Structure 1
Amino acid sequence: MMISFFENFFEIQKSFHQILFSWTPFSFGDILYILLGIFLLLFIIKSFKKKNRHSSILKILVLTNIFYFSYQFFWGMLYFQTPIIEKLPKGEITLDKKKKLALKYLEKCKETRKQVTQDKNGVFIVTNLKSLQKEILYKQSKLPNYISDKKAPQINSFKPSIFKNIMSFTGILGYYNPFTAEAQYNSELPSTYIPFTSAHESSHQLGFAREQEANFIGYLIGIDSNNLELRYSTEYFTLKSLLNSIVDEDEDFVKTALKNYSPEMKKDRLYERAFIHKHQGFLDDFFGFTNNLFLKSNQQEGTVTYSYFIDLLIHYEQQKQKESYQAIRF
């Protein structure tokens, strides 16, 4: 009952916030965080200059609690929604199933990669970001009813983050701002990341709080898209996720799959690896650790494993097979 209240409240506030903040070409949420950070810094400095420091510490704690309460009210309670996996058929997750899916998405990636644009170095590039964003919004409204009954307002509130340089060094691809309903993405990312990251953050805009469920909704948005850039990015993310879930059990299979990447896909992979290597460091490790704690504190697995997305993917594939069988039978 209580979770239903917060789901309904989110539907109202997300539409209101998107109308209120979507018109700005820059990230209003980023500006809000900068101003909040400056205010808190000045408040702390001013407070500790006073004689009564205990009172100042109390004020800081009160402000922190107000911020945390606001976050929970606008967003945090959505982590307690009914998990998507409970809406899908049950079934055993086996290594063989993951391998078959990996080979399937390897072939899909190869085929779609031939049809997208690349730069002079042969690396995939996004050519029309606005068209891609429009397609994501459209596909939000076409999600299966048994998985999502959330409203898709069709308001473009995708924003390149002002913090892109910091995000590149922290491993953060994008984030959703619950106070402005903006979907932030790191515009410095290789193009293989940007379409699916946008679909992922748009899933948060719909109201899917858990990270791996947002990945799954992003998958549903992009996998059958007529926008080839979105489809390739989604297929490529899915393939990488499957290979990551297999590597500990069968490293040779993953090595063989990587060798069988098309020449174009190998260039995309090398470009991604070069980007990651360039931005590795202390901040990447620190934010990876803190993000892991944050995910676990919000009923999630953490960054160590992406198995929940794979579970959702395989159960969904089983559902599609069941529907295909019934359609043929009747």
Structure 2
Amino acid sequence: MITLPSKDSAKSKTRKSPSLRKSTRCMIAVILLMILLNLLAWCSTSFSDWYAETVFPRLSRTFSRLCGWIPFSVGEVLIAVALFLVIALPLAFVLCMIFVKGKRWKISCGFGRAVGWILTYILVTETCNCFILYHATPFGERYFRMRDYTGQELLTLYSDLVETANTLAVQVQRDENGCFVLQDDLYETANAAMQKLGETYSQFRGNYPQPKEIGASYIMSQMNLTGIYFPFTLEENYNGDMLDINKPNTVCHELSHLCGRIQEDEAGFLAYLACIGSESIEFQYSGTVAALEYVQNAVASRDITGKEAVMDTLCDEARQDMFVFLPENYWETKQETVPAVVATQTVLETSSSAMDTSLKLNGVDDGKQSYSRMVTLLLAYWDSQGKLS
């Protein structure tokens, strides 16, 4: 005996089918829109500038404020969930294909839609909160007269930074080992510093969300990262394990990304401006030390008459605070309490390669080397202040 489906059943299937097609069409439309926006960004600097100055600030303020109410890093949680799903979803799919008979097509469609929307979310957030911003007019070209600088001009910049570092190094609080200790409130002081920066550059006006310490700071240490900007949630995060000397500059660096300055050299330079413009001596010192590290590397790599004499004037306190990231014996202490799932060297090499590749794919031809272009911005700023003549 043949049993025909009831009319109600047939109507139910008819109702479901269009909704599935509508979901798929919606996903395809969103993906095509993101592709169009990326093409516009690559082809039109004017479009990228308009987006960075008009659309992104509103987007950033809205979503970062929403995430700011949550005390932990939402982006970190999403990454943990993503890592779990990378393992769990394929395994669940295979098990369903084996043991659930008669519904394999339905399961396949559901699995495909889930993966499709996850990838679409990543594409949307990366495009709107990252990719387009890479193609805006560089900060230096917008505000300064960019040119080639001589070795002696570089030495002048270095000498001024050394003098400032020497002055500030003896004014900050230190522990029994002589290490810098942050006394000022990290969030309140960073917020005030960035707001003051907004008095000169309108792109940085407004309030800023709470910077969030990453729970898995050990993994960040393995990756040699002091801070990270999550385009998926528009949050700024910092490595809680790093030494205090790095925290003010790092937080201001990540907050600069929230204002649409995605290039690393620009964020580093803006962090310096925010820090030295702060009323906090600790912030001034942190920003100066960070800038001094880049400039000293640039000076050391060039044949400049008199550079050794200037290097010798750097005080012991400032010298101790430079080029330091983590506390002494950090790795030995952590390995006793936090077993490394993956070897630190492997994590470092993988993350470094991924970051370099990501920058190059976004039109930053020199990849991670672009960080050092902060020195050119510092020189242009010094030049604009009449300090190089």
TM-score by structure 1 length?
0.85
Deviation at 1:157, TM superposition (A): 2.1
Identity %: 22
Aligned to 2:362: 298
Partners of 1:139 and 1:269 in 2: CA distance: 22
1:321 aligns with 2:386: yes
Aligned to 1:135: 189
SS of 1:304's equivalent in the other structure is helix
Aligned to 1:103: 159
Aligned to 2:175: 119
SS of 2:237's equivalent in the other structure is strand
1:311 aligns with 2:311: no
Deviation at 1:11, TM superposition (A): 1.5
Aligned to 2:5: none
Q: Which has the higher contact order (CA 8 A, sep 6+)?
A: 1
Partners of 2:232 and 2:172 in 1: CA distance: 36
Aligned to 1:182: 235
Moved more, 308-317 or 38-47: 38-47
Partners of 1:277 and 1:29 in 2: CA distance: 25
1:166 aligns with 2:222: no
- Is the 8 Å Cα contact of residues 222 and 231 (structure 1) preserved in structure 2? yes
Q: Which residue of the other structure, out of 139, 146, 151, is the alignment partner of 1:84?
A: 139
Unaligned 5+ residue runs, structure 1?
A: 326-330
Aligned to 2:3: none
Deviation at 1:61, TM superposition (A): 6.5
1:212 aligns with 2:265: yes
The structure with the larger Rg is: 2
Distance 1:312 1:120, change over 3 A: same
Aligned to 1:328: none
Deviations, residues 13-39 of structure 1 (Å, cap 9, x unaligned): 211112211122221221222223323
Aligned to 2:278: 225
Q: How many residues align?
A: 321
Partners of 2:58 and 2:92 in 1: CA distance: 38
Aligned to 2:84: 38
- Is the 8 Å Cα contact of residues 170 and 284 (structure 1) preserved in structure 2? yes
SS of 1:189's equivalent in the other structure is coil
Unaligned 5+ residue runs, structure 2?
A: 1-45, 99-103, 333-343
TM-score by structure 2 length?
0.73
Partners of 1:259 and 1:181 in 2: CA distance: 43
- Is the 8 Å Cα contact of residues 242 and 326 (structure 2) preserved in structure 1? no
Deviations, residues 214-267 of structure 1 (Å, cap 9, x unaligned): 111111101232111111011011111101112222399666555433121233
Deviation at 1:199, TM superposition (A): 0.9
- Residue identity in the other structure for 1:297: L
Partners of 1:38 and 1:253 in 2: CA distance: 56
- Is the 8 Å Cα contact of residues 293 and 323 (structure 2) preserved in structure 1? no
Q: Which residue of the other structure, out of 63, 67, 70, is the alignment partner of 1:24?
A: 70
- Superposition RMSD on alpha carbons, in Å? 3.1
Partners of 2:345 and 2:306 in 1: CA distance: 30
